Structure 1
Amino acid sequence: MTDEQENTGVQERRRVNDYDAFAAAYSAENDGSLANAYYERPAMLALVGDVAGHSVLDVGCGSGKLSASLRDRGATVTGIDASAGMLELAEQRLGDDTELLLVDLNDPLPFDDETFDDAIASLVLHYLEDWTAALAEMRRVLKPGGRLFASVDHPFVAYTIQDPRPNYFANTSYEFEWEFGGRRVPMRFWRKSLQSMLDAFTSAGFRVASINEPQPAPEARELFPQDFEHVSTAPVFLFFALEAVQD
């Protein structure tokens, strides 16, 4: 392989999941969409419950919409994301009193042990081929008995996306394109079976408190009449409430 070919390959890989390329357009869509604003975020906030006085790590905070809601509920929030463009939007939303850091989840988290009461990984884990290091780091920075809340694309849905269907029990990726603001960006997500997810959580030192398949917010029925039936009758996202097992 020539240097030019290698550089081209690196550039192609970098363009996959490149939120910097469409940060503003994605944030605007995310703020008001059925999937995010009327399904995933309210479901996550309901699952998390009372966070007043808690220190919370928002893993993959994006443009900070969930962080803002957590802060409004009395939490001290720290947000991390791999996209500088998304963090810039989060800073505009949250101001200077919320710590925001550029962090790749494949690297160690820049926090001391037992820093946070809670961590929230909202629709972020399915970007990772291997959850081992990221979950171990989340467990490390949580206080004993701390909580991790995670949402992912439902494994049953992810399994049906590719034709022919892959081995459900294999760790496989699939690629597609998102279009925002007239720009198409290649994306890559990773599938895991439910069993693989549970094994990853327990191996990292978490106890599964609950697994949830919530309904969208009721007001979405009138706001999104064409899509509400699908979201309310078919699996879309899967939510986990986890507790850090005390050593």
Structure 2
Amino acid sequence: MSENNYDAFAAAYQADNENNAWNAYYERPAILSLAGDVAGRRVLDAGCGGGAHAAALIDRGAILTGIDASASLLEIAQRRLEGRARLLLADLNKPLPFEDGAFDLIIASLVMHYLPDWSPALSEFNRVLPAGGRLIFSTHHPFMDHQLAGSDNYFETYSFSETWQRGGKAVTMRFWHRPLHAMFDALKSAGFQIDVVSEPQPDPQISTLFPAAHQSLTTKPRFLFFSAAKA
């Protein structure tokens, strides 16, 4: 199966994402905690997938727009959100179809590690935010990536692949590792000021629901979370 083709396994991916340890009890709670009070805020969910984050944000009063590169995942989100959000097909490697300052907050959940270059996306995120607008995102922790990839040089930006099993299919996913300093440099160059860098602990419920995942998530780096403001 071709790399990063979410359309080919969208339903199986979303079913897993909905309730697994990594997304439901670790990544999603951490992102929503960083987002804080979103009532009345214009929020862009960049890489919205099947709409799990979007649903939670809408329930908290956000005026939500979601974008994703997968038409099949957007269809799942459309059914789930029942018209409560504007959903569009868009590629984060290209200019976004929004006016300057269109959003107060951007959420980008586990999408940045698919991008070979952060500059185009971060530049567009900056453009569609007003001064003081916030960007919150999660990405693969570079220490986790480097260990998985088995590369010789942590300080390089390089791609590597991993095979997932979803819905009885083997799916090849390609990611981009970048060292920590490169993440900070990219944000600064795009006009963002970082206010939070987080390596959170999972939801305590995970200890009984997923003991093995609890052991891993409480002792090893997994994802890295940023909150940054447009300078």
Q: Same fold (TM over 0.5)?
A: yes
Distance 2:224 2:176 in 1: 14
What residue number does 1:61 align with? 48
Q: Which residue of 2 aligns with 1:183?
A: 169
Which residue identity is paired with 2:203?
A
Deviations 1:128-169 (A, max 9, x none): 000100100011001111000010010011111123x33111
Question: 2:198 is matched with which residue?
Answer: 212
Computing the radius of gyration from Cα coordinates, the structure with the larger value is 1
CA positional deviation for 1:226: 2.2
Q: Which amino acid aligns with 1:88?
A: E
Over the matched positions of the two proteins, sequence identity in percent amounts to 53
> Which one-letter code corresponds to 2:181 in the other structure?
Q
Counterpart CA distance in 2 for 1:241 and 1:143 is 15
* Distance in structure 2 (CA, Å) of the matches to 1:90 and 1:204: 30
Identify which of 197, 201, 211 aligns with 2:183.
197
Partner of 1:134: 121
Q: Who is 1:143 aligned against?
A: 130
Q: Which of structure 1's runs of 4+ aligned residues deviate more than 3 A?
A: none
How far apart are 1:51 and its partner, in Å? 0.6
Q: 1:229 is matched with which residue: 182, 206, 215?
A: 215
SS in 1 for 2:65: strand
Structure 2 counterpart of 1:243: 229
Task: Tell me, in whole angstroms, the C-alpha distance in 1 between the residues paired with 2:178 and 2:137.
Answer: 14
Separation in 2, partners of 1:69, 1:44: 11
**Matching of residue 117 in structure 1 with residue 104 in structure 2:** yes
Which residue of the partner structure matches residue 108 of structure 1? Answer: 95
Paired residue type of 1:139: N
Q: Which runs of 5+ in 1 are unaligned?
A: 1-11
| Amino acid of the structure 2 residue aligned with 1:59 | A
Please tell me the residue identity of whatever aligns with 2:194: V
TM-score normalised over the length of structure 1: 0.92
Matched, 1:73 2:60: yes
Deviation at 1:107, TM superposition (A): 1.0
Q: Give yes or no for contact 2:58–2:84 (8 Å, CA) kept in 1.
A: no
